[in-house]
Structure 1
Amino acid sequence: MATAVAMRIDPRLRKRRIAVRRAEGRRRLRVLGAIVLVAGIGVACWFATQSRLLDLDHVEIAGVEPAQAALIEAAMDLDYGMPLVDFDQSAIELSLTDLAWVQSVTVTREWPGTITVGVVERVAVALMPRGDGSHVLVDAYGVAIAVTPGATPPAVMPIVAVRPEGSLGDTQHHAAPALAVVASMPDDLASWVEAIEIDESGLRPAVVLDLVGSATAELGPAEDLGDKLDAVRAVLSGVELECLATIDARVPDHPTVTRNPICEATLGAVDDPNS
């Protein structure tokens, strides 16, 4: 009888234990409910991204003409109707910059179903003859952009008389001195220049301008180009151009001129009635 009394639980303690167990049960239910809710939302989102409401419907290309836009879209090789969430933006941007004439590209995904592509084209600044009558177009950085079929008139843009190397998209590093001249060339002097050559015979590459009328202008290394080109302009506007052979502007403060002696002798004979 004494043992039975000792095993009896205080009613208040019993109620407390029951309350604790119920609280733990409610807590477990709340955690389970949260897990189920998150999982449900995740599943719903996945189904939503795979639905027709969020698939690829439109591609908008800006910054280029329609012909170039068609090339861009073909290079992207997209599947209309694909889930927009599966679109690999970085891979597309990388593939488009592989096009030789594309300088930069920005690709964005716009929900619910549009891909927008912004393209910056490379701008050709010079021609490099290939030796077969065609020319390679290069931009200011020396990147080979495209090939022009057939002979291209010199008046279109400056000719860098250096043979291109490699393939389209490659940088013509060996043409850098001549391209630096193109970038610095004043418009009024450009009309005098038939081609820009690079003389590799010295310790440093030297730039030579082939001028209209068979004269040349020696600029030396591609430095102080603004002063050197101004010196050439000053000579062309201030001296007798007949029989002009060479303008040496390597020291721009003191340009010198040489003349063709055969031309001068011929002119002298014509001018001398007794010859």
Structure 2
Amino acid sequence: MKKNSRRRLPALIAALVVLLAIAGICVYFIPLVKVKNIEVHGATNADTAQVAEATGISVGENMLRVDSAAAAKNVASVPWVEKVTVSRSWPSTITVDVTEHQPVGYVKDKGTPLAVNEHGQVFLSGAQPEGAVEFRNVKADDAAAIEAAAQAVVALQPQVREQLEYMSVKNAESIELHFREDRTVFWGSADRAREKAEATRVVLLRDGAEWNVSNPAIPTLKS
């Protein structure tokens, strides 16, 4: 009897494996676990409905067959979206976590504003985001100049940035900041941006309409 039991054991194990495989196939192809919700987190400027639709995932779809990588790639094309991850939140929710571009400036291309993020990248056409600084005298295709201008804005302390009205950006080596009350600060390039930001903060506390902080160690007042 013991020998017969030992002989049956491999057969039982094999049968169990086959049954589990069949069950797995059924669960994968038959939507027993369905998508009921698509939740979007982190979207402030992006339209959450548009983000959810861009995933390409439908309510009622089999949770196991959701292609999260493809969904994330689709969402990445939505305006304002810089980074995105798509994941399953069991038992029935798809979670879309969005990181948006942070606008710091904009340039105009034939009258059309182009929003620029903190990395100096144009990410949206036709938008002039609230709080973004206009970069003037710069061509929309001058990537180096736009990036340098964005670095300058990012380096400024919040209380200084609030006073900034616009920037004149002739090229990446010639950046000039225009503040309220007709005060200007010439930066030159974006090199040593943190030091120049501190020098700018200091000179704005002093008298004088035009300052040069291209050498932040020795700010000079233009005559």
Take 2:45 and 2:175, find their aligned partners in 1: how far apart are those partners?
39
| Corresponding residue number in structure 1 for 2:68 | 89
Matched, 1:76 2:50: no
Q: CA deviation at 1:66?
A: 9.4
* Structure with larger Rg: 1
| Corresponding residue number in structure 2 for 1:227 | 195
Take 1:174 and 1:98, find their aligned partners in 2: how far apart are those partners?
25
Greater helix percent: which structure?
A: 1
Q: CA deviation at 1:88?
A: 0.9
| Corresponding residue number in structure 2 for 1:165 | 141
Q: TM-score, length-normalised on structure 1?
A: 0.67
Contact 1:131 1:163 in 2 (8 A): no
| Corresponding residue number in structure 2 for 1:251 | 215
Q: Which has the higher contact order (CA 8 A, sep 6+)?
A: 2
Structure 1 gaps of 5+ residues are 1-18, 167-171, 260-275
Contact 2:145 2:173 in 1 (8 A): no
AA paired with 1:186? Q
Structure 2 gaps of 5+ residues are none
| Corresponding residue number in structure 2 for 1:183 | 154
Matched, 1:209 2:191: no
| Corresponding residue number in structure 2 for 1:46 | 25
Three-state SS of the structure 1 residue aligned to 2:176 is strand
CA RMSD of aligned residues (A): 3.1
| Corresponding residue number in structure 1 for 2:131 | 156
Three-state SS of the structure 1 residue aligned to 2:97 is strand
AA paired with 2:165? E
Three-state SS of the structure 2 residue aligned to 1:54 is coil
Correspondences of 1:83-122 after superposition (within 5 Å): 83-122=62-101
Three-state SS of the structure 2 residue aligned to 1:135 is strand
| Corresponding residue number in structure 1 for 2:113 | 135
Take 1:114 and 1:233, find their aligned partners in 2: how far apart are those partners?
49
| Corresponding residue number in structure 1 for 2:125 | 147
Greater strand percent: which structure?
A: 2
Identify if the C-alpha distance between structure 1 residues 74 and 248 changes in structure 2 by more than 3 Å, giving closer, same or farther: same
| Corresponding residue number in structure 2 for 1:29 | 8
Identify if the C-alpha distance between structure 1 residues 250 and 44 changes in structure 2 by more than 3 Å, giving closer, same or farther: closer
Take 2:45 and 2:36, find their aligned partners in 1: how far apart are those partners?
19
After superposition, the C-alpha distances for 1:69-120 in whole angstroms (9 at most, x for unaligned) are 1011111122332222111111112222233411222222133332122222
| Corresponding residue number in structure 2 for 1:7 | none
Correspondences of 1:234-245 after superposition (within 5 Å): 234-239=202-207, 241=208, 244=209
Q: TM-score, length-normalised on structure 2?
A: 0.81
After superposition, the C-alpha distances for 1:2-33 in whole angstroms (9 at most, x for unaligned) are xxxxxxxxxxxxxxxxx9xx94x655533222
Contact 2:120 2:151 in 1 (8 A): no
Take 2:162 and 2:34, find their aligned partners in 1: how far apart are those partners?
55
Q: CA deviation at 1:198?
A: 3.2
Question: Identity across aligned pairs (percent)?
Answer: 22
Match of 2:166 among 186, 195, 219: 195
Take 1:194 and 1:65, find their aligned partners in 2: how far apart are those partners?
25
Structure 1 ranges of 4+ moved more than 6 A: none
Count of paired positions: 222
